[in-house]
Structure 1
Amino acid sequence: MKKGFSKILIYLLLTLFAIPVATLMLSEYAGYQLNNEITEAILDNARQNNQDLTKVNAFLQAHPPRSVCDTVTPDLLEYKHAVCNGNELWQFETMDKVIFLSMGLGLVFLVLVGVLGGVAFISPGAQAWSLRLSRPVLIFMSFVEVIVQGGLLLWFTFWISAFFTDKYYPKAIFAVALLILAGLFYMVKGIFRRIPFDNQVEGAQISRTHAPALWARMDNLASRLGTTAPDHIVAGIDASFYVTEVPLTVKDRKLTGRTLYVSLPLLRHLTPEQADGVMVHELTHLHQGDSATNATLGPKIQRFDLYISTMKDNLATLLVYYPLAVYRTLFELAWQRDSRRREFIADNKAAQIAGPATIAQSLVKVSAYSGYWGEVENELFAQDEKHENSLQIRQTIAQGLTQYAHSNGFSEMIRRQNVPHPFDSHPPLSVRMKNVGYEISSDQLAAVATHVPEESWANLIPDAEEIEQALWQRYEHEFSSAHEESLAWRYRPEDAAQTALVEKYFPPQTYTLRKGKTITISWQGITEPKHGELLRWEDISTMTHDTRCWIDYLALNFEKTRTNKRKRLTIYLPGIGKQMDALNESLGRYWVRHQTMCEYQRTLREEQHTTTADA
């Protein structure tokens, strides 16, 4: 974290000051040279007119040409008009002032980032103010920086060649101007980007009439805590419990207000008393207003993150990405610190009502179950064969949890692990157990993690088994689909089945050109239109798209191999028209697939080689 933040800080300083410093160096050097040239010209003129060189030299030392470009006394006005009246020397001296102004703006930007980031550490209320102010202030400063530094870069592009070679390059100046305009365009576009609302939750809403016993227990716990029960309870299979006041969508139904999410697999794993502790923990978040704060700040953070993402994704806006990223990092550190504080408060309240041992045991169980679930999924996803049958993830976890809990390093892993939660940053488990005043010894962790009670909160939901089974089936289907698509990115097809799978996600894409010609993009490569030759991806090193005389073309460079002797090839695309965007998208996607496949196959060979060597 520290290394990454230091790297961002270095980039921040470079983006704010690299262009001004480079421009200042050019301006100072050029101004110095021009000052000397004008001085020599004045001395030459004095010699030709038999003037007193001693007096002229003394005057020039007291009043160098550069010095009179600023405001001068009346007796020097004629001299100023002669040596610094809208000429190149005046331009360089004026540019120095603009450069120092730019550096000053950079310092102001830097201070604003630090101050607004520092405010977020004061209190949760200050975080809201920091976020509310930072977006308009920092975005405004970003616009100013792009305009000012863009102007400096334009000036630098012209004079770096004009001064040293007596030539300038309009194409380079035009390219820089386009870059600046593109930066301003993407900055405006980023402001109006909409946040995608996708708070879809896989689960089932548990109403009061559906599970009155569960709601009665929830009401009792809420009453003991001095608060009210949540408005909604959603049961799912994710390995976590949480409360939120963010609107959620469950089975096409939008839930607003306070929602508690409960995990059916974990409820079966917890005793009723342990589940009580978990529920008190979550109810405390509601009672303390934590979930309301998250619901208020969450959309603002998302909007800010979306804007930062837009700045990062475009070369023209990298200049302002790093200042925004530094602020966002500072805000995140403050947010996480406050989140840890909230977790400790909720844990302590749960320990007061359910007991320290009960809450510590529930934390261990949740960590162990979620940790093993992750390992099972990673192993299933890493397989290079398509999953044809049911994955049986639920059964695999139930059967293998005991062995996992007795494996080497389990206790250390459990103590380091964070209890999963989608809306907060939780402290490590060992710290949370110490906070509630009850630490479970290493030799007891496995027994605690694997104990399955006879009765649980899940028994309070009449059709919990049917709900859970349906959710597991849907989850495993989605998991299998995602795994199958990942295979399409990994395979170098060796048989018809693998070829069919790759082509399911990467089918040949054909685009029609003039005179009935076509160009086809496939997982194998590019079938060019002139001779129908397949140009394989492995032979292509680079490819670019450009236009010549209003005709689009692809310029391909090739790797030198025994089977390929060509160095480059230009493929003209007359008649491609509006299909060009789709063609570029296909080229990019299929090219990335090939690179991903090559990298995966290389890693696979290295792992196999290491395994063979160890054996």
Structure 2
Amino acid sequence: MSQASDDFSKIGFARTFFLPALLIFLIPVVSLVFFLYIQNHYDEEARNEILQEIRADASLSAEDKAAAEALYINVPLSRLIMHPDFADIVTSQASFNYATFRWAIRLSLFSIIGGIVVFVLSALCVVASLRSQWVQYVSLSVSWHVLRIFGAAQVLIQGVLLFALSYWVTAFFFNIYVPKLMIIAGILALAAIAAVIKSIFIKLNNETVVEGTVIERDSSPALWQELSSICAKVKTEMPDQVIAGIDDNFFVTEQSLTVGEKKYSGRSLFVSLSLLKQMNGSEADAVLAHEMAHFSGNDTLYSQKISPLLVRYEHYLHGLYEGGVSLPIFYFMNCFRALYEVSLKRLSRSREFRADRIATEVTSPADMAGALLKIIAYSSYRAKVEQDIFNKEEVLENANVSQEIALGFDHYAGSFLSTPDVSLLQTSHPFDTHPSLVDRMQAVGCTLESPDSQVMLSAPGDGQWYRNIEGAEELENAQWQEYEDRFRAYHEESLPYRFLPETDAELAIVVKAFPEVQISGEEGLLTIDHAGIMHHPWESPVPFSEIQSCNMDDKGRLNFILAEGKPNKINLKKFMDSDQQRVIEAVERYYSRYLAAKAYQEHVKQAGTTEVEELADTET
């Protein structure tokens, strides 16, 4: 089973990343073959003409004719004219054509050979990156700079080749050239080059915002004292700041963070108030020992170094993707980004197992396993509660996420281990990936199937570390209130996009966000509401449900194709200049709302049908 899965994974990688990466050779290979062919064609024609002239020249002796014929037969004209003594035997136009062929062939070869060399070099860097975090950083840094320069060069070269092809393909085969085709090719090439240049030099915002409160040493001495004890056992230095929040994870980082309106640098530890409340003291010891172990292994140091490279890489990929004709280079670069992701995940797993091992040595296997179970169960339940609340199709007076979690978590924990695919769940983290729950449990010497696992999960926490934070309850409540206010506001914003109103309550929600819009024009009044469009020249209103497509023609008219095939038009030129954009934006916004609501209702209907079928299968 494992071997079959690995084979499928290899096939999937080849199809998704490797084969598309080979498209980088498409334009240069086509150019190389084409320009070699037409160069040989021109050489053959010129050779025949010159040989005819030589044979017809009565002034030449038989010996001179034989020597001249041998020269032009054995040396193609494209090579011969590069010698100063023969440069003037062709016209200036022919000389320019041959120079074009010569440079197109050179650029094609450079592109192909460069692609192969960079491919091999980058592959070696990826392989080397598996050795250690330091090698991973160095190899990623080297390959990033090489790939960036190579990618920019390829965009330029392939843009030039594409432009040359746009002229010579039609000129050679059909004896014509198409200016529009050349202009389009030129614009595409320039757009790709501009997109790449922009992605290289644009200033990126690397700010990482963390929601929480920085716990000062003077305000919670008990917390810092306990943390000092943990650091001593793990043999690492203390963090520079501790941030307490309500996210469902713990993490450490050396990246600069923004908390509130203040920036913090150095070593940062984030602790979850909500999770600390669920754990007993020894479980929290295990979690914090795990996090401090990342400091002792320089994990956060290399994450800090690698993260900006990855951000740059992703932005560069976006520029290549947006460049259009640079898509082949995008696929090439994306292949190596995917390979590096394999390397990053492998070393990330090693770091996590190392940190788990150290935490287990500092505390115990049971403490580490219990902490893992509670963190993942809590995170899973929180996601379920938030999804259930968000799915409610009514205006929420209060989100009450924290209250729902507090009331139902104990019951959920009792059945959590029977959840399908529970072994594959991972702890959430803003910077790294983690091994699955079953792998981490086995690594610390515990199993999910053991009765002890359910006992550890169900055991109530004493909240020892929670109590070590002065004013923890007030901090947590304030953060939950702010979070739930945002949650409720976002939920209310989403409601109008769910309904094709069938009740007065649903209609009121939609109309509140999408009131009727009226815009006057030369042809009369245009009215747009949640249900459709009414335009004075039309015989009747057009519901959004009857519109199959909408487009704008070159005469400035919005054309609506209806279900029965009849087109209805809105002539924008009949509106004031200041109102034309209002018409476009209103049509787009209101029609998009209808399409979103239609898709949502179809999804709900499909989900309901699936649930009924699953229930029937279960009963059967």
TM over 0.5: yes
Asked whether 1:432 is paired with 2:440, we answer yes
Check conservation: 2:523, 2:536, Cα contact below 8 A.
no
Check conservation: 2:241, 2:269, Cα contact below 8 A.
yes
Aligned to 2:115: 106
Aligned to 1:143: 152
Question: Where does 1:134-173 land on structure 2 (aligned, <5 Å)?
Answer: 134-173=143-182
Asked whether 1:266 is paired with 2:275, we answer yes
Aligned to 2:599: 599
In the alignment, residue 438 of structure 1 is paired with which amino acid? C
Check conservation: 1:528, 1:571, Cα contact below 8 A.
no
> How far, CA to CA, are the matches of 2:537 and 2:217 in structure 1?
70
Q: CA deviation at 1:421?
A: 1.8
Q: CA deviation at 1:178?
A: 1.0
- C-alpha change, 1:127 and 1:73, in structure 2 (3 Å) is closer
Q: CA deviation at 1:217?
A: 1.2
Aligned to 2:381: 372
Asked whether 1:174 is paired with 2:175, we answer no
Matching residue within 178, 181, 185 for 2:194: 185
Question: Where does 1:446-485 land on structure 2 (aligned, <5 Å)?
Answer: 446-485=454-493
Q: Name the SS for the 2:208 alignment partner.
A: coil
Matching residue within 247, 257, 263 for 1:238: 247
> How far, CA to CA, are the matches of 2:302 and 2:588 in structure 1?
41
In the alignment, residue 565 of structure 1 is paired with which amino acid? K
In the alignment, residue 433 of structure 2 is paired with which amino acid? S
Question: Where does 1:62-81 land on structure 2 (aligned, <5 Å)?
Answer: 67-71=76-80, 81=90
Asked whether 1:279 is paired with 2:279, we answer no
In the alignment, residue 408 of structure 2 is paired with which amino acid? G
> How far, CA to CA, are the matches of 2:142 and 2:287 in structure 1?
36
Q: Name the SS for the 1:70 alignment partner.
A: helix
In the alignment, residue 604 of structure 1 is paired with which amino acid? V
Q: CA deviation at 1:357?
A: 1.7
Check conservation: 2:242, 2:268, Cα contact below 8 A.
yes
Check conservation: 2:248, 2:272, Cα contact below 8 A.
yes
Q: CA deviation at 1:351?
A: 1.0
In the alignment, residue 459 of structure 2 is paired with which amino acid? H
> How far, CA to CA, are the matches of 1:232 and 1:449 in structure 2?
30
- C-alpha change, 1:512 and 1:60, in structure 2 (3 Å) is farther
- C-alpha change, 1:512 and 1:394, in structure 2 (3 Å) is same
Q: CA deviation at 1:269?
A: 1.4
Question: Where does 1:362-511 land on structure 2 (aligned, <5 Å)?
Answer: 362-383=371-392, 385-407=393-415, 410=418, 413-495=421-503, 497-499=505-507, 501-502=509-510
In the alignment, residue 391 of structure 2 is paired with which amino acid? A
> How far, CA to CA, are the matches of 1:473 and 1:273 in structure 2?
29
Q: Which runs of 5+ in 1 are unaligned?
A: 51-55
Q: CA deviation at 1:603?
A: 2.3
In the alignment, residue 607 of structure 2 is paired with which amino acid? E
> How far, CA to CA, are the matches of 1:166 and 1:424 in structure 2?
59
Aligned to 2:4: none
Asked whether 1:228 is paired with 2:237, we answer yes
Check conservation: 2:369, 2:441, Cα contact below 8 A.
yes
Check conservation: 1:69, 1:84, Cα contact below 8 A.
no
> How far, CA to CA, are the matches of 1:430 and 1:607 in structure 2?
30
Check conservation: 2:17, 2:338, Cα contact below 8 A.
no
Q: Is 517-526 or 498-507 further displaced after alignment?
A: 517-526
Check conservation: 2:81, 2:88, Cα contact below 8 A.
no
> How far, CA to CA, are the matches of 2:537 and 2:312 in structure 1?
48
Asked whether 1:558 is paired with 2:566, we answer no
Q: Name the SS for the 2:252 alignment partner.
A: strand
Matching residue within 243, 253, 256 for 2:265: 256
Aligned to 1:127: 136
> How far, CA to CA, are the matches of 1:579 and 1:378 in structure 2?
40
Q: CA deviation at 1:250?
A: 2.5
Q: CA deviation at 1:261?
A: 1.1
Question: Where does 1:11-50 land on structure 2 (aligned, <5 Å)?
Answer: 11-14=20-23, 16-27=24-35, 30=38
In the alignment, residue 607 of structure 1 is paired with which amino acid? A
Aligned to 2:221: 212
- Percent identical among aligned pairs is 29
Cα deviations by residue, 1:297-341 (Å, 9 ceiling, x for unpaired): 323322332232233344254243223322322222222222211
In the alignment, residue 330 of structure 2 is paired with which amino acid? Y
In the alignment, residue 255 of structure 1 is paired with which amino acid? Y
Q: Is 339-348 or 482-491 further displaced after alignment?
A: 482-491
So what's the TM-score if we normalise by structure 2? 0.83
> Over the residues paired in the alignment, what is the CA RMSD in angstroms?
4.1
Aligned residues: 602
In the alignment, residue 132 of structure 1 is paired with which amino acid? S
> How far, CA to CA, are the matches of 1:506 and 1:30 in structure 2?
62
> How far, CA to CA, are the matches of 1:152 and 1:604 in structure 2?
51
> How far, CA to CA, are the matches of 1:555 and 1:44 in structure 2?
65
> How far, CA to CA, are the matches of 1:62 and 1:84 in structure 2?
23
In the alignment, residue 318 of structure 1 is paired with which amino acid? L
Q: CA deviation at 1:437?
A: 2.8
Check conservation: 2:526, 2:536, Cα contact below 8 A.
yes
Check conservation: 1:411, 1:445, Cα contact below 8 A.
no
In the alignment, residue 559 of structure 2 is paired with which amino acid? L
> How far, CA to CA, are the matches of 2:541 and 2:74 in structure 1?
67
In the alignment, residue 600 of structure 2 is paired with which amino acid? Y
Cα deviations by residue, 1:459-488 (Å, 9 ceiling, x for unpaired): 222322222222222222222222222333
- C-alpha change, 1:98 and 1:255, in structure 2 (3 Å) is closer
Aligned to 1:53: none
- C-alpha change, 1:203 and 1:331, in structure 2 (3 Å) is same
Q: Which runs of 5+ in 2 are unaligned?
A: 1-8, 59-64
- C-alpha change, 1:111 and 1:536, in structure 2 (3 Å) is farther
> How far, CA to CA, are the matches of 1:105 and 1:509 in structure 2?
58
Check conservation: 2:192, 2:322, Cα contact below 8 A.
no
Asked whether 1:344 is paired with 2:345, we answer no
Check conservation: 1:269, 1:456, Cα contact below 8 A.
no
In the alignment, residue 212 of structure 1 is paired with which amino acid? P
Aligned to 2:341: 332
Q: Is 117-126 or 489-498 further displaced after alignment?
A: 489-498
In the alignment, residue 189 of structure 1 is paired with which amino acid? K
Cα deviations by residue, 1:130-174 (Å, 9 ceiling, x for unpaired): 343344432222221111111111122223333333332211211
Q: Name the SS for the 1:205 alignment partner.
A: strand
Q: CA deviation at 1:412?
A: 6.0
- C-alpha change, 1:220 and 1:509, in structure 2 (3 Å) is farther
Check conservation: 2:413, 2:457, Cα contact below 8 A.
yes
Aligned to 2:5: none
Q: Name the SS for the 1:210 alignment partner.
A: coil
Q: Is 192-201 or 261-270 further displaced after alignment?
A: 192-201
Check conservation: 2:533, 2:541, Cα contact below 8 A.
yes
Q: Name the SS for the 1:556 alignment partner.
A: strand
> How far, CA to CA, are the matches of 1:255 and 1:145 in structure 2?
40
Q: Is 592-601 or 414-423 further displaced after alignment?
A: 592-601
In the alignment, residue 216 of structure 2 is paired with which amino acid? S
Check conservation: 2:128, 2:136, Cα contact below 8 A.
yes
> How far, CA to CA, are the matches of 2:480 and 2:551 in structure 1?
46
Question: Where does 1:532-551 land on structure 2 (aligned, <5 Å)?
Answer: 537-544=544-551
